[in-house]
Amino acid sequence: MSLHRVPVSFADACAFIATWHRHHRPPRGYKGCTGVVTDEAVLVGVAIVGRPVARHLDTGHTLEVTRVATDGTRNACSLLYSACWDIAKGMGYRRLITYTQQGETGTSLRAAGWRLVAARPAHPGWDRPSRPRCAQGTEHMPRYLWEAS
């Protein structure tokens, strides 16, 4: 079975993520979306690229892969990560990052040519007295920062 990159709308990407992503809801914003389909035109994965969530990384030259979700089809994730880097470069960005949670292997990222650049400790969450937020269930999870290369 061959896989092919396709453009997808933000709405379609969010609907796919709502169904298939393991631990996050769809993001609120984006700069670009892409998808992967089979020879039969069945959508098997999507990725959303947006501004970095961390303010100090939002330099104007960096994008972040904020969501990747697949139905488990082999090689779909690595094709999506590769497509995201092509999207970022095509838009003139110099850096593309993403995070994985501790316990996720990063195999798809390595296969797409990404490199591990840092380990990040668990953060206590986004809730602040001046800015209340609902817990997402991922607040106390150490993460790894990856960069496309």
Homologous superfamily of the 3-147 domain (CATH)? Gcn5-related N-acetyltransferase (GNAT) (3.40.630.30)
Angle at Cα 44 formed by Cα 42 and Cα 50, nearest 5°? 125
Closest C-alpha among 52, 54, 69 to residue 8: 69
Instruction: Please determine, for residue 147, whether its predicted confidence score (pLDDT) is greater than 60.
Output: yes
- Distance between CA atoms of 140 and 73, rounded to whole angstroms? 29
pLDDT per residue as tens digits for the range 31-83: 899 999 999 999 999 999 999 988 889 999 999 999 999 999 999 999 999 99
Sign of the alpha-carbon torsion through 110, 88, 31, 58: positive
Residue 113 DSSP label: T
Closest C-alpha among 145, 143, 127 to residue 135: 127
Q: Let me know: does 34 contact 5? Beta carbons within 8 Å.
A: yes
- Distance between CA atoms of 72 and 97, rounded to whole angstroms? 22
pLDDT of residue 30: 85
pTM of the model: 0.86
CB neighbour list of residue 110: distance below 8 Å, 6 or more residues apart:
none
- Distance between CA atoms of 130 and 28, rounded to whole angstroms? 21
Entry field: residues in the chain:
149
pLDDT per residue as tens digits for the range 90-140: 999 999 999 998 888 999 999 999 999 999 888 666 666 776 766 555 556
Domains of the chain, by residue range, sit at: 3-147
Residue 149 banded pLDDT, cuts 50, 70, 90:
confident
pLDDT of residue 28: 73
